Amino acid sequence: MTETEETLGTPTLQELLRDSPKNWGKWGPEDEVGSLNYLTVEEAQRGAAEIRTGKSFTLAIPIGNPEGDPIWPGRKTAVRTNVMDRRNFLCGTGPSFNGDLEYADDVITMYLQGTSQYDALGHMWYGEKIYNGYAAETTIGSLKKASVFPIAERGIVGRGILIDIARFRGKAALERGETFSHEDLVAAASAQGVTIHKRDILLIRTGWVGSYYETEETEFYRDFLEPGLTYSPQLVEWFRDMEIPNLVTDTIGNEVTRDPVSGVDLPLHNALMRNLGIAFTEIIALDKLAEDCSSDGQWTFLYTAAPMKIVGGSGAPVNPVVIK
């Protein structure tokens, strides 16, 4: 069977999400940060109330790791290059400073979404409209609307909760294409002895990004199909009713790459991010945090994040910090 024949019965996103709810206009016609509006001062205080020991964890993966960087297929890994170092001064091409100062300097070339990062709400769309009904043409050249910049300007602070779906299923990491639902998240939280509350920042560990560093690269990308949440109208309604502001995962795409029922690629990017304005945070390192949470039984914490302020960007690198 050819790929065309396989996808012949695949619905369009407009067909699949015809009745899917939207938050467009909920925070006004000029809104560009979506469900992050749920993160009020009271939500920041609720997150701060989870601090018990002061232990902190940073959640970004390394950039330019000699072992490689897990990124979306087709993107290139970051390239960091020294443009000034001791060699320049040894051969006399370094600049001269009073007091004989010497220094190193470097540049990096990378995809803004080629590491731990936040998606802009205008990053992905269908039907010629991005989040909040802005025209898709506003993305030409740079995102004039719903770029990552307003998210970066605002920052993200709230009560975070880690759901370790891999540990719940007794695995170091989920399998290629393995799916789970919002009901699985609730069950895993219950097994951890915690409850997902309204407006929680939801962190989900699958073990997938961690497995990248223990898997031969060609095998990791073979028939690329990440594990993750899978689309259903009930899941979308749950995210809406729970007023989830931010979905954070240790996968590259935050959802199963291809929905196994409809055959549609990345429907939740559209149902949750484009339609509900939920911020997506991807390629996050959660293994060390999960080990600590399992050890002390504390799965909730203060979550803070501030992506880089890239004007017009469709995404931006971030190094979230959580404090327990």
Give the pairing type, strands 156-164 and 300-305. antiparallel
The token pair that represents 274 in the structure block: 């484009």
137 and 210 share one domain: yes
- In angstroms, the CA 49 to CA 159 distance is 8
User: pLDDT digits over 18-57, tens only?
Assistant: 999 999 999 999 999 999 999 999 999 999 999 999 999 9
Q: Are residues 89 and 171 in the same domain?
A: no
- Sequence-ordered list of residues with C-beta below 8 angstroms from that of 115, at least 6 positions apart, any chain: 60, 61, 63, 69, 71, 78, 283, 317
3-class secondary-structure state, position 244: coil
For residue 188, what pLDDT band results from cuts at 50, 70 and 90?
very high
CB 94 within 8 A of CB 84: yes
Which of 60, 92, 108 is the last residue in one of the domains? 108
Q: Give the DSSP letter of residue 272.
A: I
Domain count, the chain: 2
Average confidence (pLDDT) over 152-168: 98
Q: Are residues 156 and 248 in the same domain?
A: yes
Give me the amino acid identity at 173: A
The set of residues, in sequence order, having a beta carbon less than 8 Å from that of 28 and lying 6+ positions away, is: none
Torsion from C-alpha of 109, 228, 17, 116, nearest 10 degrees: -20
Considering the domain architecture, whether residues 93 and 234 belong to the same structural domain is answered as no
Q: 316: alpha, beta or left, given left = phi > 0 and alpha = psi -120 to 50?
A: beta
Asked whether residue 58 falls in the same domain as residue 95, the answer is no
Q: Rounded to an integer, what distance in angstroms lies between the CA atom of residue 153 and that of residue 320?
A: 15
Whether 170 shows a pLDDT value over 50: the answer reads yes
Could you tell me if residue 14 is inside a domain?
no
Residue whose tokens read 């695949």: 10
Inside any domain, residue 4: no
Residues 216 and 97 in one domain: no
Whether 231 and 272 map to the same domain: the answer is: yes
Question: Is residue 195 in some structural domain?
Answer: yes
User: According to the model, what pLDDT value does residue 67 have?
Assistant: 81
Do residues 149 and 218 both lie within one domain? yes
Contacts of 118 (CB under 8 A, 6+ apart): 148, 151, 152, 279, 280, 281, 305, 307, 315, 316, 318
Q: Is residue 46 part of a domain?
A: yes
Report whether pLDDT(2) > 50: no
Domain housing 279:
27-74+111-323
pLDDT number for residue 66: 85
Per-residue pLDDT tens digits for 223-264: 999 999 999 999 999 999 999 999 999 999 999 999 999 999
Residue 123: inside a domain? yes
Confidence at residue 5, expressed as pLDDT on a 0 to 100 scale: 39
Do 222 and 136 lie in one domain? The reply is: yes
Cα four-point dihedral sign 243, 318, 177, 263: positive
The answer to whether the CB of 297 falls within 8 A of the CB of 164 is no
Q: Within this chain, do residues 193 and 94 fall inside the same structural domain, yes or no?
A: no
Is the overall model pTM greater than 0.75, yes or no?
yes
| Same-domain status, 165 and 310 | yes
**pLDDT value, residue 309:** 98
Task: Give the other-Cβ count within 10 Å of 282's Cβ.
Answer: 25
In a domain, 228, yes or no: yes
More confident residue, 249 or 6: 249
CATH number at residue 162: 3.50.30.50
100 shares its domain with 231: no
